[in-house]
Amino acid sequence: MLSEIAAHLPEELKTEVLGKALAAAREITDERARAEALSGIAAHLPEALKKEVLAAAQGIRDERVHVRELLGIAAHLPEELQAAVLAAAREITDERMRTEALLGIAAHLPEGLKGEALGEAFLAVTGGRRHLRSYGESPYTDIVTAWQESGSGEIGREVWSWMLHRIACDRRDQLLQDLGALAPLIQRLGGQEAVGETLCAILDVSRWWP
């Protein structure tokens, strides 16, 4: 309510009112309600107060609520705070929620940090792929789609090499599911030639070990 009122105040009063709104939001004990309040005022805060809303968001312990809060404020933070948003997302312990946070904030990050966020998201999926895998579907399906929609920032060949090493240790049916989902990434890194070589390698292995 205070943030909505502040939007119609002259500039000399706006900072004072929004500061009070931020202080009131930080005092809310219920984390879900606090996250909603912080997200609601983030867009209206002056630059001087945006660091404080990020600090308040980092105090939320429920990771599901914390993810929603990071996604709610990321678009409204200045570039100098985006590295801190990325660091907060990296601290999330649950792979599924960490992936959601990293993909969600990636769209608001400068290009260099965007690549880091996307790479971290792929690593999170790879590390938790066994319990993230749905029946008949690769855990990489959603993340590759999000990667394409985000502007297809680079994730780094080191990340790809690590992912490939890990998924190569899975069952053949799971490996094939994952390679199918990762085909757009393979093409981005190595072009059509890499996709063709991957297919040839699959056929060779199928002949050698039916």
pLDDT computed for residue 179 by the predictor:
84
Tell me the CA distances in angstroms from 157 to 103, 160, 180, 186, one per residue in order.
19, 5, 18, 10
In single-letter form, the type of residue at position 14 comes to K
pLDDT computed for residue 7 by the predictor:
61
Cα distance between residue 202 and residue 210, in whole Å: 11
pTM of the complete model: 0.76
pLDDT computed for residue 87 by the predictor:
93
* 134 backbone dihedrals φ, ψ, rounded to 5°: -90, 160
Which residues, 6 or more positions from 166, have their beta carbon under 8 angstroms from its beta carbon? 126, 127, 129
pLDDT computed for residue 183 by the predictor:
85
pLDDT computed for residue 86 by the predictor:
93
pLDDT in tens, the chain (210 residues): 545 665 666 666 777 778 888 888 889 889 999 988 888 888 888 888 888 888 888 888 899 999 998 998 888 888 889 999 999 999 999 888 898 899 888 888 887 788 888 888 888 888 777 776 766 678 888 778 877 776 655 666 777 778 878 887 788 788 888 888 888 877 777 777 777 777 777 666 666 765
pLDDT computed for residue 25 by the predictor:
87
Q: Is 136 left (phi over 0), alpha (psi -120 to 50) or beta?
A: left
Q: What is the domain partition of the chain in residue ranges?
A: 1-77, 111-210
Residue 207 in tokens: 């002949």
pLDDT computed for residue 210 by the predictor:
59
Residue 4: count other Cβ atoms within 10 Å of its Cβ: 11
Decide: 70 and 109 in contact? Cβ < 8 Å.
no
Decide: 110 and 82 in contact? Cβ < 8 Å.
yes
Residue 154 in tokens: 């680079």
